[in-house]
Structure 1
Amino acid sequence: MKAGGEDFLIKPVSSDQLLPAVERAIAHHKAMLNLKQTRAQILSRLATLTPRERQVFELVIRGKTNKQMADALGATERTMKAHRHGVMTKMQVRSLVELVSLTSEPRIGR
């Protein structure tokens, strides 16, 4: 089980036990593969952010306003809006909710 076993079957195994166990294992594998692919896509998008956009990204997902980000980073609100737009574009999201949801699920570690 430690090496990744899905189920424990005792011999002799009937087809009524084996087939559902194999189907569960395949379904679990597909779900894990999908999660890994999604995580890799998100991480590759994160890698496209500039260092400043990464700072803005971190502040945005913490719920900071453009004014708060500008004060924290020593820039203007207009500059923060531009960086925020860059973050949204590179992360391929349309809303703040989508951006936060990318990071709130166990898909990526911050």
Structure 2
Amino acid sequence: MSASTPQVHIVDDDEAFRDSLVFLLESHDYAISCHASAEALLEDFQPRGAGCLIVDIRMPGMSGLELFDELSARHNPWPVIFITGHGDVPMAVQAVKRGAHDFLEKPFNQQALLNTVDSALALSQQQQASSAARDRFAECLASLTIREREVLDKVVEGKMNKVIADELGISIKTVEAHRGKMMDKMKVRSIADLVQAVMANR
């Protein structure tokens, strides 16, 4: 299974229901993994790439809500969609307030499920891209020398080269040299790009 393929993990103790979801979702090119219980999922759940979970809120053993809490404690990055019966809707609403992506009440139509899965996967892909961007920014920042980092901070504050030179006790030419190297290492083409990158990662 490629990490670049959107992945959907189904957690439900009803085998017939799992099979029906697999049939529907595989026809839309998702990579599917099925688990008959929350405990089974937790044994080997290692989310990579973009994905989401479809979880029955009421199961024998660990419930869907208990699974959600455990995944949250493990900093699970994937959105969780709950499947509920009518009597479980209040619990599902509380789960959404605690961070679950959405819930679907049985019986639901196929398009409603597909729309919800698409929404969850779009969110997961967006979060994955943001995380990768933060990692790249951190790598660039770590590559700066102490002086280059000082120049970066003052440039972001909007200070001109002459002011930076006076505050750091160095020449304007030295500031310009540090500034040029800093911009190259941060992989930005303009001060506006630099400021946007710094603000996005604060």
TM alignment of 1:23-38, pairs within 5 A? 23-38=118-133
Match of 2:66 in 1: none
Which stretches of structure 1, 4 residues or longer, exceed 2 Å deviation after superposition? none
Matched, 1:96 2:191: yes
Match of 1:39 in 2: 134
Shift of 1:5: 2.1
Matched, 1:65 2:160: yes
Match of 2:148 in 1: 53
RMSD of equivalent CA atoms: 1.1
What is the TM-score when the length of structure 2 is the normalising length?
A: 0.50
Shift of 1:48: 0.1
Q: List runs of 5+ in structure 2 lacking aligned partners.
A: 1-95
Say which structure, 1 or 2, has more relative contact order (CA 8 Å, 6+ apart): 1
Q: Percent identity?
A: 39
What is the TM-score when the length of structure 1 is the normalising length?
A: 0.90
Match of 2:12 in 1: none
Match of 1:5 in 2: 100
**Residues 59-106 of structure 1, C-alpha deviation per residue, up to 9 Å, x if partnerless?**
00111111110111111111111110110110111211111121223x
Larger radius of gyration: 2
SS in 2 for 1:83: helix
Matched, 1:85 2:180: yes
Q: How many residues align?
A: 106
Match of 2:23 in 1: none
Higher share of residues assigned strand: 2
